[in-house]
Amino acid sequence: MSNDTSNNSDRDRVLQLDPDMRDMPREVRDIISPKPLTGQDTLQFRCHPGIACFNQCCSHIEILLTPYDLLRLRKRLNLTAEAFLFQYATPYTMSKGQLPVAMMRMDEETGRCPFVTAEGCSVYSDRPVTCRYYPLGLALLHRQQTTGNESFYFLIKEDFCKGHQEPQQLQVEAWRQDQGVVDYDEKNRHWMELIVKRRSAGDATSTSLQLSEFFYMASTNPEKFRQFVFNSTFLKRYQVDKETAERILKDDEAMTDFALAWLKTVLFGDQEIKVNPEAIAELKAKKGAAS
């Protein structure tokens, strides 16, 4: 096939997609159904150990690890954040938005997920939300003319997967409930909002190395972010009530939510974590003295 024919074929496929799906990476576009799905739409799919393709979807893929994924997996394995990241994750910078996220580190020789076995996933009850959603994908959009974010689902159909031929049909929302993704999405809501808002802001928002490091720390390592909060001048510069301080000192999930709220303040000026008036006055005084 000539390059012109191949390019035309790809262009025709893109034009078949809903406009909201055309900006997705080509490797994603090539395996998705062109129709966005709602929670009330129906899909036909079932995965089980007896199916011929069992475990094939656990190799040569990119598994994004959300903050709540990391909390669940770390607890399951009884590992610190630092130890889990060292053994099982690798940083990846999103092409749009330029924010670093954690990806599962696949086995270098086999390309398989480190938790997959012949019997299936060894951490199944704590598996990442990406795995829970499959064969669905979740697309998040932030529209400047609206007050919030919008989302839709899309179906992933890979050639090897026989699950789409299984005689089980259910609504998308029923699938989400059955796979336990509803709670995961709620736990990751602040993180997803930050990513979507940053992607929509494009180059207008700073992506300095320091902010990137803070975002990765907030998303993956609440233990390290806790040290930053309590072992620096942070509590003098920002308004943090006693109850919140006590909660984030002990609870990694609360620490992650607090860290992401602070990042929304820094990146977008949302003022979820307010600056102390005394700190503002001190900064102005220093600037005045220097001028």
Tell me the C-alpha to C-alpha distance, in Å, between residue 68 and each of 5, 59, 72, 135: 44, 22, 6, 20
User: What is the per-residue pLDDT for 141?
Assistant: 62
User: What is the per-residue pLDDT for 287?
Assistant: 59
**Rounded Cα distance, 188 and 169, in Å:** 28
* Mean pLDDT of each 10-residue bin along the chain, 291 residues long: 43 42 46 74 92 92 93 97 96 79 94 94 96 88 52 87 93 94 92 83 62 91 96 92 96 95 85 80 61 58
| pTM across the whole model | 0.82
User: What is the per-residue pLDDT for 13?
Assistant: 37
User: What is the per-residue pLDDT for 223?
Assistant: 96
Which residue is it, tokens 């086999």? 110
Cβ atoms of 135 and 161 closer than 8 Å: yes
Write down the domain spans for the chain: 12-195, 221-290
User: What is the per-residue pLDDT for 131?
Assistant: 94
Tell me the C-alpha to C-alpha distance, in Å, between residue 52 and each of 83, 157, 273: 35, 16, 52
User: What is the per-residue pLDDT for 241?
Assistant: 94
